[in-house]
Structure 1
């Protein structure tokens, strides 16, 4: 099959251009690549049917998807182009397995007597339609792959070195820090983050925090709004308390302690530990999820007849004194019996007063100090063992293999105990201030915080069928204590 010809009778080829991060300094920007490739095609009498451009994408990383690169292969298979021109083979690919997919297509075309062309500006000896060209292309792609692998290893080692020294990685300044030095704080941004930490620990959901930020006009350094997932990522990143992160995890030194970074922290480490612990418990289902935040007892109230969780519904108000909403058992099609419903306001008042009573009892029994952390001696013992093993290895009284075998699990135990101690210290600091007087603060709390207070006292609130007609009877409401 003859090569596809355009209106001018010339062979139709695709030009592929690509630039990876850091390549611009090498003079291989996509604009210059395209210009050189077009001149190359014109010199050979070929017509450029389409330019395929993958900007800022790696040809080495296996998981990187290059959409234009894939489209170019599909167009070659479909006969929309009959060849490819690239600036250099390393612009085309650095993965031998990708090259082989193209070679397979060129060999298949050869069996069908279809003529395809392949050429590069930097070298004219890599025509994939010939055995010699395929041989040279394989060698050069293998060399490019090895070069990228070496660069990757050096980069990873550099990042590890920076992490161990507590220095910042590359990139733009995160929200909260100055863009110039990435180390000093922007006061207003830092205060927004501190309040977000306090709000989440106080029971406010991520979505509510994001909504508040949007209402206040808080924007990222790139000008966009923050959604709940972005705020969660910022607050769970140890950078916020001055700790270094490496490869998505808190980076620990050889003693199992967090590496402190060389930038200003926004919140104390204890607050960060409390926040991440709460996030962990929620993800494991240990904390009650607060999806319905409009009514106090949604998902907490249960039907006294069938035990199903009751739902809150707005009511049509016949007068100013009528109920605004009601708690009702869902119908049989929704898993309930549909036989119990009750005006919401009197139930909420009764439960609220029960929470107040619980708070009063707590205030009357405040201990003067928090209990000591029980694992202090165990941590000290493990750290002594770690120091002895390290000294034995450094003095060549222990092999490296033996040292790693003995300390690998030990490091994990020490790191976990450090985390538990930080949590205990943060909780002890909050405990020393005494419990919050819910009675005084109730009206200022958000509905989410009010629900959190209820959940802390009661497992559920049973609403029984009315025993006194339309008149509210407190004995029909049975809170279940924790």
Structure 2
């Protein structure tokens, strides 16, 4: 007759494809057969963890339930396929042996001995067998790591799930997805938020690699993935890959730098829905408190209630509440028949390109003078060519091209990368007003925050909207 009356089985397999349980099922069949042969009652005490690696230390919920049952006195023997299925490393093994010793629980292995862990000999044998298992796991891990390093050094395409923008094997670019990847990198450097980028993708029904909607975390992971720059990091070293890059290394590093900036707000929160919330300042507070947004209602004769948006002081005392629409129109408006807002007016000026200049460069005056001299030279060359009927057209074009190349180099040196990322595509557009109107909300907010400080003061009751109550202080130019 068997000395065990409260048997339990435990099965675990390290790696399994999604939905594949054949491995643990085979183990379960073998452990159940051993229990039947030894006459050990199992009942419902069957525990199973599928795809729980020894090297990656995944959480094992059924193992924890098994140990809890042991500690409640519900188990006197655990039947496993082999000892390495029960414990994955030295720490788990040491803790497990001590728990089983304290509760008088033995271990039976389909492929291995019976271990009475209440005896010193049983614990010694369990320890020795476990060390052999650990040695094999660690040796396999070392081989895998060496193979991985070799693949990285050779620039081979990473394995694993498909990367958005690439085919399943990672060797070719999917043009439509690659275009979206470039837009994401351009947007983050232009001041867009992660939530804003995700909202834009979802509004256009662009799905992620799994055919699902985007989240801010998914966008963050993509933007920090060096693979898009044709690179791969391994143990702190960056290696060049042999697959096609979608963006440049500089674009990737700039995005990573922005996302890792301690000054950047790490809590995603809800995406901003209104133009100036969190940007404009309250004119009543003396501590720089910004305004938040809200909803209010007005009534006509006590019969009808009309909702309208408001900007309110964010401080504990809500001593400021202003209708949002006229303020938004003053700052950003582009409605036909209405006056242009201050920002589109500024972006449409002939000298709007000056907004891109890095005025903190110590040599900005020298570079500005050189650029002005080159522009004057171009004008002189054009005038001289127009007056000279015998001038050589090809020679004139070559000369103009050389001067323009030098001018472009100087203008590039004068340009602030941050300002160019936020404003460049709008300022250089054929129609800056239309380009501004087409921008998503988070891009507009980033540009406003870069261009000006807005302070909202209390309005004067009964006088309608007074633009003088909105104070604008330029930050650039």
* Residue 86 (structure 2) pairs with residue 102 (structure 1): no
Question: Take 1:219 and 1:440, find their aligned partners in 2: how far apart are those partners?
Answer: 28
Aligned to 1:194: 182
Residues 91 and 234 from structure 1, CA distance in 2 versus in 1: closer, same or farther, beyond 3 angstroms? same
Does the Cα contact within 8 Å between 2:426 and 2:435 map onto a contact in 1?
no
Q: Is the 8 A contact 1:304 1:463 kept in 2?
A: yes
TM-score (normalizing by structure 2) = 0.73
2:133 maps to: 144
Cα distance change on mapping 1:425 and 1:57 into 2, 3 Å: farther
* The one of 49, 52, 59 aligned to 1:54: 49
C-alpha contact 2:195 2:271 (8 A) present in aligned 1? no
Q: Distance in 2 between matches of 1:15 and 1:345?
A: 68
CA displacement 1:323-369 (0-9 Å, x = unmatched): 94332335xxx52351x333323322333333245432742648999
- 1:40 paired with 2:19, answer no
Describe the shift of the 1:480–1:429 C-alpha distance in structure 2 as closer, same or farther (beyond 3 A).
closer
Structure 1: segments with no counterpart, 5+ residues:
5-9, 111-115, 253-258, 375-423
Q: Paired residue for 2:470?
A: 477
CA contact (8 A) 1:370 1:432 kept: no
The answer to whether residue 256 in structure 2 is matched with residue 276 in structure 1 is: yes
Question: Partner of 2:96: helix, strand, or coil?
Answer: helix
Q: TM-score, normalized by length of structure 1? A: 0.72
1:464 corresponds to 2:457: yes
Distance 1:246 1:368 in 2: 38
Q: Does 1:123 align with 2:112?
A: yes
- Check whether the contact 2:296–2:310 (CA below 8 A) recurs between aligned residues: yes
Pairing of 1:21-420 with structure 2 (within 5 A): 21=15, 29-49=23-43, 50-61=45-56, 63-110=57-104, 116-179=105-168, 181-247=169-235, 251-252=237-238, 259-281=239-261, 283-285=262-264, 293-307=272-286, 308-316=289-297, 324-329=308-313, 334-338=315-319, 340-352=320-332, 353-359=341-347, 360=349, 362-363=351-352, 365=354
Partner SS state of residue 47, structure 1:
coil
| TM-superposition CA deviations, 1:155-209 (whole Å, max 9, x none) | 2222222222222333222122111x32111222222222222333333332233
Structure 1 residue 88: Cα displacement: 0.8
Separation in 2, partners of 1:345, 1:174: 42
> Partners of 1:302 and 1:446 in 2: how far apart?
22
Residues 190 and 418, structure 2, Cα contact 8 Å, conserved in 1: no
- Give the match for residue 8 of structure 2: 14
Equivalent residues, number = 403
- The Cα of 1:448 is off from its aligned counterpart by 1.7
SS of residue paired to 2:217: helix
CA distance in structure 2 between the partners assigned to 1:288 and 1:39 by the alignment: 53
Alpha-carbon distance between aligned partners in 2 of 1:293 and 1:176, rounded to the nearest angstrom: 28
Tell me if structure 1 keeps the 8 A contact 2:343–2:448: yes
Contact 2:189–2:418 under 8 Å retained in 1: no
Q: Report the CA distance between 1:71 and its aligned residue.
A: 1.3
Partner of 1:435: 427
Asked whether the 8 Å contact 2:54–2:137 carries over to 1, the reply is no
1:418 match: none
- Decide whether aligned partners of structure 1 residues 136 and 462 sit closer, same or farther in structure 2, where only a CA change above 3 A counts: same
Give the 3-state SS of the residue equivalent to 1:316 in structure 2: strand
Quote the offset at 1:289 in angstroms. Answer: 9.0
Q: Structure 1 CA distance, aligned partners of 2:116 and 2:222? A: 50
- The CA RMSD over aligned residues, in Å, is 3.9
Q: Is the 8 A contact 2:353 2:427 kept in 1?
A: no
Task: State how 1:418-429 maps to structure 2 within 5 Å.
Answer: none
Structure 2 Cα separation of the partners of residues 357 and 20 of structure 1: 63
The alignment partner of 1:39 has SS state of: helix
CA distance in 2, matches of 1:462, 1:369: 25
Secondary structure in 2 matching 1:480: strand
Moved more, 294-303 or 122-131: 122-131
Measured after TM superposition, the shift of residue 284 of structure 1 is 2.6
Contact 1:323 1:345 in 2 (8 A): no
Cα deviations across residues 20-74 of structure 1 (Å, max 9, x unaligned)? 1289xxx99212211111111111111123221111112355x432221121111
Which SS does the other structure have where 1:48 is aligned?
A: coil
